Amino acid sequence: MSGVQTQLAPLTFLPELRLHQAPATAGLWDGGYSSDRRPPFWAFAWPGGQALARYILDHPETVQGRTALDVACGSGVVALAAAHSHSSRVRAVDLDEDAIEAVAANAAANGVQVEGVVGDLADLTVSADVVLVGDGFYTQSIADRMTRLLLRGTADVYVGDPDREFLPKRLFTQVATYDVPVRPNLEGVSVKRTHVWRLNRRDRAVPGR
């Protein structure tokens, strides 16, 4: 993973899973991470991904026996939860090659199968029963592209988002809320209220409701 220092440990909020993460004291731009490369977003467990992973682990029927696609996967924590919950096939897609390396390492550490793919939103084809997005609406431009992608398909779509402003909530129904422990040096707080949303599709029941 390009020399980025990580530690393998369980997450407080997701004790079922272990994840290679940056040390607890590291920030996104310090600890030797600043360079001409994109910052290692994958080295941190962001609240949207943690909340969505928790929802899947609590409601395995969301993905059980179904194909799942984790978009902008980062470390792959959502994909790991899907594989742990017996999805029939899990793919994890991210623009960052280091993220896909992290997905492979995390899948091996958790004894599950996840197919990591390097890809951009603009080129992505949605071919899964369930599409999962953890913390993928963090800028307006990314949110616009993500929304266009999600509306193209017919898959069930679940999003974890800690009110980062750019999620088009009018298109979604909230299905769960969690208080997720986070790193104060990243989020400015130690607990982040985070919601799980389901893209509105007519005549579909919401697991866990």
Of 52, 146, 54, 144, which is closest to residue 94 (Cα–Cα)? 146
Prediction pTM value:
0.91
Q: Are the C-beta atoms of 65 and 86 separated by less than 8 Å?
A: yes
Q: Are the C-beta atoms of 74 and 35 separated by less than 8 Å?
A: no
Length of the chain: 209
Tell me the C-alpha distance between 117 and 105, whole Å: 14
Q: Is residue 162 part of a domain?
A: yes
Quick: pLDDT tens for 112-153. Answer: 999 999 998 877 888 899 999 999 999 999 999 999 999 988
Tell me the C-alpha distance between 181 and 162, whole Å: 12
Quick: pLDDT tens for 155-201. Answer: 999 999 999 999 999 999 999 999 999 999 888 999 999 999 999 97
Higher-confidence residue of 70 and 2: namely: 70
Residue 195, token pair as written in the block: 């919601």
Q: Is pLDDT at 209 greater than 50 in this prediction?
A: no
Q: Is residue 171 part of a domain?
A: yes
Quick: pLDDT tens for 15-28. Answer: 999 999 998 877 77
pLDDT number for residue 122: 76
Quick: pLDDT tens for 71-120. Answer: 999 999 999 999 999 999 999 999 999 999 999 999 999 999 999 999 98
CATH code of 162's domain = 3.40.50.150
Domain around 163: 7-199
Q: Is residue 181 part of a domain?
A: yes
Of 38, 109, 49, 111, which is closest to residue 74 (Cα–Cα)? 49
Q: Is residue 2 part of a domain?
A: no
Find where tokens 């790991």 sit.
80
Q: Is residue 168 part of a domain?
A: yes
- The mean pLDDT value for 61-68 works out to 98
Q: Is residue 108 part of a domain?
A: yes
Tell me the C-alpha distance between 132 and 135, whole Å: 10
Q: Is residue 209 part of a domain?
A: no
Helix, strand counts (H, E) of the chain: 5, 9
DSSP structural state of residue 36: S
Q: How many structural domains does the chain have?
A: 1
Beta-carbon contacts of 189 under 8 Å, excluding residues fewer than 6 positions away, are 182
Q: Is residue 207 part of a domain?
A: no
- Ranges of beta strands (E only) in 5-146 are 7-10, 18-21, 67-71, 89-94, 115-118, 130-134
Residue type, 139: T
